[in-house]
């Protein structure tokens, strides 16, 4: 699998990585055996970048990732996790979570303080059973900007300075705060979910320009916008909620264009995301070995130039968005 540098961080990642939110039971429970088989199959298919977080399955995704990666040569892969949430038990048994199913009883508690981040890293390493994490992202600090800069960033900067971590960044579902972070502190990379896809090019004007100028690497998550670009039917989800009729209609039009040229919408979604020069790679979630095989298979399928020409002709994407095959 091809690799790319993550900005100027000195870290190199495979252009497709494995995201582990589904392995933590996002929407549907996933067995230990299926989760570990998925990670192992991704490895067999050449994936060497793996992303996880305490939030995903409230610790179970990190444990499952570590169970497989502990047996691999440590310098042969890149692992990222996140800070900003500590997992803690409550006085009474918790209700089932809206998103994550069949989880441990711990629940996330926001903590972007310096000490909280240091505890979070130690606890993640314990769940993973590994001696280091390569990339640490501040996770979704939407309502915690000041704490993220004054506390979390200082902690991550310390870990980067002493060599405990190779790169530091922030992972969010919005591009505006990431653009602000890029101007405020020396971050190495960002993980942006859902804001650069065939349905949403919000990051195109602002964030990507800043990252390009500063050498900040960008990894994209959510290139299927949580489902709608994988299966654009009524009831499909966009940003983890049921999509409105206009979005479904637009996704269905994209799908129709792909089908008319015997291409796959998922192939187009992946290749569109990777075509921007600011993007080092993407992470794709999967819950079974068959699903990661399918995702990596469609990533390699050709998308005819006629698809991109028609998408542009019908103004279904921002006119300034680069398309596969455009001059760099």
The catalytic residue positions are 51, 56, 82
Angle at which helix 245-260 crosses helix 265-275, to 10 degrees, equals 100
Phi, psi angle pair for 303, to nearest 5°: -115, 110
Which two structure tokens, joined as six digits, stand for 183?
């101007």
Distance of CA 323 to the CA centre of its chain: 21
Distance of CA 18 to the CA centre of its chain: 8
Angle at which helix 114-128 crosses helix 60-69, to 10 degrees, equals 50
| Rounded Cα–Cα distance for residues 196 and 280 (Å) | 13
Distance of CA 157 to the CA centre of its chain: 22
For residue 5, what are the β-bridge partners?
A: 12
Class of residue 95 by CB neighbours under 10 A (exposed 0-12, middle 13-18, buried 19+) = exposed
């Amino acid at each position: 699998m091809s690799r790319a540098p993550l900005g100027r961080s000195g870290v190199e990642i495979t252009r497709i990585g494995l995201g582990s939110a589904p392995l933590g039971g996002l929407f549907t429970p996933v067995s230990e055996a299926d989760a570990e088989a998925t990670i192992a199959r991704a490895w067999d298919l050449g994936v060497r970048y793996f992303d996880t977080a305490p939030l995903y399955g409230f610790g179970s995704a990190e444990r499952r990732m570590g169970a497989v990666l502990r047996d691999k040569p440590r310098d042969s892969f890149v692992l990222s996790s996140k800070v900003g949430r500590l997992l803690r038990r409550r006085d009474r048994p918790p209700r089932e979570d809206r998103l994550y199913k069949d989880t441990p009883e711990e629940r996330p508690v926001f903590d972007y303080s310096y000490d909280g981040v240091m505890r979070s890293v130690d606890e993640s390493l314990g769940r993973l059973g590994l001696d280091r994490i390569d990339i640490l992202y501040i996770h979704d600090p939407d309502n915690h900007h000041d704490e993220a800069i004054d506390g979390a960033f200082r902690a991550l900067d310390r870990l980067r300075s002493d060599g405990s971590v190779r790169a530091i960044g922030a992972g969010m579902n919005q591009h505006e705060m990431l653009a602000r972070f890029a101007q405020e502190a020396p971050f190495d990379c960002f993980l942006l979910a859902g804001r650069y896809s065939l349905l949403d090019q919000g990051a195109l004007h602002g964030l990507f320009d800043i990252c390009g100028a500063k050498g900040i690497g960008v990894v994209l998550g959510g290139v299927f916008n949580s489902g709608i670009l994988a299966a654009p039917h009524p009831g499909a989800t966009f940003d983890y909620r049921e999509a409105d009729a206009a979005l479904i209609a637009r996704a269905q039009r994209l799908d129709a264009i792909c089908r008319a040229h015997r291409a796959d919408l998922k192939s187009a979604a992946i290749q569109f995301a990777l075509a921007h020069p600011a993007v080092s790679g993407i992470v794709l979630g999967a819950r079974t070995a068959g699903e990661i095989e399918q995702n990596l298979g469609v990533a390699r399928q050709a998308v005819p130039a006629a698809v991109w020409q028609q998408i542009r002709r019908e103004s279904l994407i921002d006119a300034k968005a680069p398309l596969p095959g455009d001059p760099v």
